[in-house]
């Protein structure tokens, strides 16, 4: 699978650099740091900048001026800088100091409703805002959480992420994007059958399970693994979002559950489509509201178009 993140943005050395700075710089002046460093990355990384710009154009669907698109593009780099700074010191987040980080949490009743069903819950979010914080917030409430993630190539980065999650009793479930076996998701199913929570990201194609759906008005080959797992297990799907507000604090939102129940075999595709369309509508609403926090540094629709062409050619 093609490496989507520019290496410079996702390698351990940069995580280390941000950890170093986030430890030294007081939170009150971190905004300045993230604006300057993010701005620097914006200026230096021409190709990545062009990719993000194209993505922002896609979100705007032709309604935004060039000036607005440029501003959102630059802010995306700056906000990502803040995301990395927060990521590095997230281990300090505790229920007792939560208010320093989190402005508001809404929709908790949806989680209670979904867990009552007893078939597990899948929390799904796009690469928007700070999804890692969402995991910590669930763990504070005593939720048993596993994170479904791609295996990290870099050993140090993997170990850093694992340690951070392990300290909050969050389990990692790894997926191999090359493994197309129907058994690949068995570990996820086992967790859901114990009525636990599985968190996953759901806006990038990481496996062969896809469907052509409309995303921001464009035909897009979209990952449907979440729907497949939900249909097989009866788990509720909760769209969740953790976005940064103007105060530089986060807002955690849980949206209403989506169910993929399908008693008739012949209705599977229609049920999957309907459920995925509901989910995509939620993704679109939040990405459109927070376009400068959608962290995809490759050209999203260009790659989607390539995948779509590949799928159509068989």
Partner 1 sequence: MVEPNNDLIEKIKQLIIQRLKLVDMTPEMIESEAPLFGEGLGLDSIDALELVLGLEKEFGVIIPDAEVGRKVFQSVKTMAQYVLDQQARV
By the 8 A CB rule, do 228 and 268 touch? no
**Closest CB to partner 1 among 160 and 260?**
260
Out of 35, 115, 164, 232, name the contact with partner 1 by CB under 8 A.
232
CA distances from 255 to 102, 140, 200, 292 (A): 17, 19, 15, 21
Token pair, residue 246, equals 């103007």
**Closest CB to partner 1 among 24 and 183?**
183
- Nearest approach, Cβ of 200 to partner 1 (angstroms)? 15
Give the span between the Cα atoms of 239 and 200, in whole angstroms: 10
**Closest CB to partner 1 among 17 and 173?**
173
Give the span between the Cα atoms of 125 and 69, in whole angstroms: 23
- Say whether residue 221 binds partner 1 (CB under 8 A): no
Token pair, residue 88, equals 């590095």
Instruction: Please list the alpha-helical segments (H only) found in the chain.
Output: 7-10, 12-24, 27-44, 46-60, 66-88, 108-116, 131-140, 155-166, 186-193, 225-233, 268-289, 300-313
- Say whether residue 268 binds partner 1 (CB under 8 A): yes
Q: In a 3-state reduction of DSSP, which class is residue 79?
A: helix
Read off φ and ψ for residue 156, nearest 5 degrees: -65, -40
**Closest CB to partner 1 among 165 and 209?**
209
**Closest CB to partner 1 among 221 and 243?**
221
Nearest to 223 by CA among 237, 234, 235, 241: 237
- Say whether residue 119 binds partner 1 (CB under 8 A): no
**Pairing mode, strands 236-244 and 218-223:** unpaired
Out of 183, 246, 247, 313, name the contact with partner 1 by CB under 8 A.
183
Rounded-to-10 torsion of CA 228, 230, 234, 236: -160
**Footprint of partner 1 on 61-100 (CB under 8 A):** none
Stretch near partner 1 under the rule CB under 8 A, chosen from 13-21, 34-42, 100-108, 178-186: 178-186
- Say whether residue 48 binds partner 1 (CB under 8 A): no
- Say whether residue 187 binds partner 1 (CB under 8 A): yes
Nearest to 293 by CA among 234, 241, 255: 241
Stretch near partner 1 under the rule CB under 8 A, chosen from 16-24, 139-147, 181-189, 241-249: 181-189
- Say whether residue 256 binds partner 1 (CB under 8 A): no
- Say whether residue 189 binds partner 1 (CB under 8 A): yes
- Say whether residue 178 binds partner 1 (CB under 8 A): no
Stretch near partner 1 under the rule CB under 8 A, chosen from 77-85, 177-185, 194-202, 276-284: 177-185
- Say whether residue 182 binds partner 1 (CB under 8 A): yes
Give the span between the Cα atoms of 215 and 284, in whole angstroms: 7
**Closest CB to partner 1 among 163 and 267?**
267
Nearest to 204 by CA among 234, 225, 179: 225
Stretch near partner 1 under the rule CB under 8 A, chosen from 98-106, 107-115, 182-190, 283-291: 182-190
- Say whether residue 228 binds partner 1 (CB under 8 A): yes
Binding region for partner 1 (CB under 8 A): 179, 181-187, 189, 209, 228, 231-233, 264-265, 268
């Amino acid at each position: 699978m093609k490496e989507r993140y520019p290496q410079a943005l996702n390698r351990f050395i940069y995580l280390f650099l941000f950890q170093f700075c986030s430890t030294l710089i007081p939170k009150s002046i971190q905004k300045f740091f993230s604006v300057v460093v993010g701005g620097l990355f914006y200026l230096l990384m021409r190709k990545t900048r062009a990719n993000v710009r194209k993505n922002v154009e896609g979100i705007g669907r032709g309604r935004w001026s060039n000036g607005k698109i440029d501003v959102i593009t630059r802010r995306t780099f700056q906000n990502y800088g803040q995301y990395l700074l927060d990521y590095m010191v997230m281990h300090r987040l505790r229920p007792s100091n939560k208010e320093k980080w989190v402005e508001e949490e809404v929709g908790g009743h949806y989680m209670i409703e979904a867990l009552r069903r007893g078939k597990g819950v899948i929390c799904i979010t796009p690469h928007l805002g700070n999804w890692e914080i969402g995991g910590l917030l669930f763990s504070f409430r005593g939720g048993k959480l596993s994170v479904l993630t791609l295996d990290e190539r870099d050993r140090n980065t993997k170990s850093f992420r694992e340690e951070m999650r392990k300290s909050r009793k969050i389990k990692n479930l790894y997926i191999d994007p090359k493994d197309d076996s129907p058994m690949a998701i068995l570990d996820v199913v086992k967790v859901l059958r114990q009525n636990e929570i599985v968190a996953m990201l759901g806006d990038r194609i990481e496996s062969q399970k896809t469907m052509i759906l409309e995303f921001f008005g464009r035909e897009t080959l979209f990952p449907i693994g979440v729907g497949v797992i939900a249909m097989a297990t009866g788990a509720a799907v909760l769209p969740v979002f953790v976005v940064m507000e103007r105060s530089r604090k986060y807002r955690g939102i849980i949206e209403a559950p989506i169910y993929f129940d399908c008693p008739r075999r012949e209705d599977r595709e229609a049920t999957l489509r309907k459920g995925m369309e509901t989910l995509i509508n939620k993704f679109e609403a939040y990405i459109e509201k927070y376009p400068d926090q959608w962290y995809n540094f490759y050209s999203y629709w260009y790659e989607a178009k390539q995948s779509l062409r590949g799928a159509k050619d068989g």
